[in-house]
Chains A and B, each alone.
Chain A
Amino acid sequence: MTSDKMGKAIGALLVLLGIVVILTPWIIFPVCEMQGLFLKTASGTNFPMTCGWAARAETGVGALIMVAGGLLIARSTTETRQAVGIFSIAMGALVILLPTVLIGMCKMAEHPCRMTTLPALELLGVIVIIIGGYLVWKRE
């Protein structure tokens, strides 16, 4: 496979991963609020739990991963691959850090966001980082 074709294939994979990152907390492995779990105030208003805010942030990160993939499909030069590679590593790290450190998930171990959404996002983050690392490493 030529490096141009390889670049386009990896770009398509990144777009797909971006979509999966967006869909994971809402549809594939839904966070608590998608399963009817909310924080209720004294006045009876429902607020999203911590995992809900992490899910919203992941939607943005997923969209950025899609843009990076799209860029690679449109223009697969060595420089683009390098830049997208570095960008993907950063985005992959964010996919992991948002639900673990930056925003976090619900504290309760038996909540659906902790049991399924969190491991799925961590796994996706690792995959995005590996792809980014490969793009940076593969100079030609």
Chain B
Amino acid sequence: MSNLPKFGFFRLIAANLTNRPHRNIATIIAFAIIAATLFSAQYLMSGAQQSLDAGMTRMGADIMVVPAEYNAKAETVILMGEPNTFFFNDSVFDKISKITGIAKASPQIFIATLAGQSCCAGLVQLIAMDPSNDFTVSTWLKENPGVTMGKDDIIVGSKIIGDIGSDIRFYGHTFHVVGRLAQTGMGVDMAVFTRIEDAYVMADESGVKAVQKVTIPRGMVSAVLVKLEPGASRTAVASEIRAKIPETKTITPDGLLGAVTAQLGAVTRLLYGSTLAVTIVSIPLLAFISAMVAHERRREVAILRALGATKTYVVRLMLAESFSISIVGGLIGIGTAAVILVFFQDFIAVILKIPFIIPSPMAIIYDAGTALLLSAGIGGISSLFPAILINSSEPYETIRKGES
């Protein structure tokens, strides 16, 4: 007798689950699909949101003022780093500086480089700025922090190839890398920052040195970054800028978030819709499977009851089995989705045209927890009715009839 395995609640659950491998694997796959779709949708949203937060925080600007007709292009420069060249008169900069509530303003000139530069496969956004007036770039240097830009010095985004101290040529002009920015997942990762006076020299020389001449008109800028005084309202100042300088548009972090949400909308709607559809279909389907299992196990349950198991014990047993399957399925689904999303994150960001970084561990735990909770909830709901049903039959009658 001492060699007999110990009879216990968890041993019984494990034995019941391993005795029906094929059916349980099918159920586990259903739960895995539910958890994977929900987790993917939440993960993408968290990644985009955090990338945007990081990008905007590091940008240091509360408002970006751009020419009205290039508002959409400026947004793609910030979000995706799609290079563009556009200008407005720099008298705008003086007007902006005089508006109340503005602590600092910094002009920038955007120049799209030629393709096939040594640092990069495609076009790069060259951003010319005034280092003495800058409050955005130098503050978030990852490599060589505290460096000041001298003649022909450049600070590069995290995805630009070239070590500190190396040279990169744009439009035939040689620049010297002195700093590298931290990764944001946004367009600034593919940008190169130079001084305005060096950009003018590069443009002047480009007619001779480059295959294509670039023109940067004097007295023109592409954007003005604005830092507000403490307590100043971002919305109010942005409205005042637009009212006083009608030829401009203002870009704020909230506005960019709206643009990203709209871009992500179709994908997240598809993923959330799939989760909802799979959930709606799976609850009756899983309930039906649970009812079938319950019917098959009537005699087994009757014997358990005859051996002294209470009705509550039987309900707990069936719910625990269902929860185990749903949690195993949920974990497999979340794990698989996480691996694919992490491995292919660059590809996903490019395809969806969204800024994206891997979300923080807390956000991932929250997303995975929600998906797991939904799986467990569906598992519990679908097995509750069959568990109650099986308990309603009399053990003696069931055994006597010889039903299996």
Contact = CB atoms under 8 A, between A and B. Distances in A.
A123 B159 CA distance: 23
How big is the A interface, by class?
10 to 19
B1 interface: no
B159 A109 contact: yes
A106 B339 CA distance: 22
Interface in A92-114: 106-111, 114
Given A108-B121, A110-B121, A115 B343 contact: no
Contacts of B190: 110
A96 to B, nearest CB: 11
B346 A108 contact: no
Contacts of A107: 161
Interface residues of B, number: 13
B298 to A, nearest CB: 29
A110 B346 CA distance: 8
A60 interface: no
A33 interface: no
A110 B340 CA distance: 18
Interface in B133-171: 159, 161
Nearest to A106: B121
Interface in B108-125: 120-122
A115 B346 CA distance: 6
Nearest to B159: A109
B344 interface: yes
Nearest to A49: B121
A108 B161 contact: yes
Nearest to A107: B161
A125 to B, nearest CB: 11
A111 B121 contact: yes
A119 B121 contact: no
B344 A119 contact: yes
B347 A119 contact: yes
Given A115-B350, A123-B339, A110 B159 contact: yes
Nearest to B346: A115
A110 B350 contact: yes
B120 A108 contact: yes
A37 B115 CA distance: 13
A110 B122 contact: yes
Interface string B236-252: 00000000000000000
A119 B190 CA distance: 21
Contact of B346 (A109, A120, A123, A126): A109
A58 interface: no
11 contacts: A107-B161, A109-B346, A110-B121, A110-B190, A110-B350, A115-B344, A115-B350, A116-B344, A119-B343, A119-B344, A120-B343
Interface of B: 120-122, 159, 161, 190, 339-340, 343-344, 346-347, 350
Kindly list the 6 A-B residue pairs having the minimum CB-CB distance in the complex, ordered from nearest. Answer: A119-B343, A115-B347, A108-B121, A109-B159, A115-B346, A107-B161
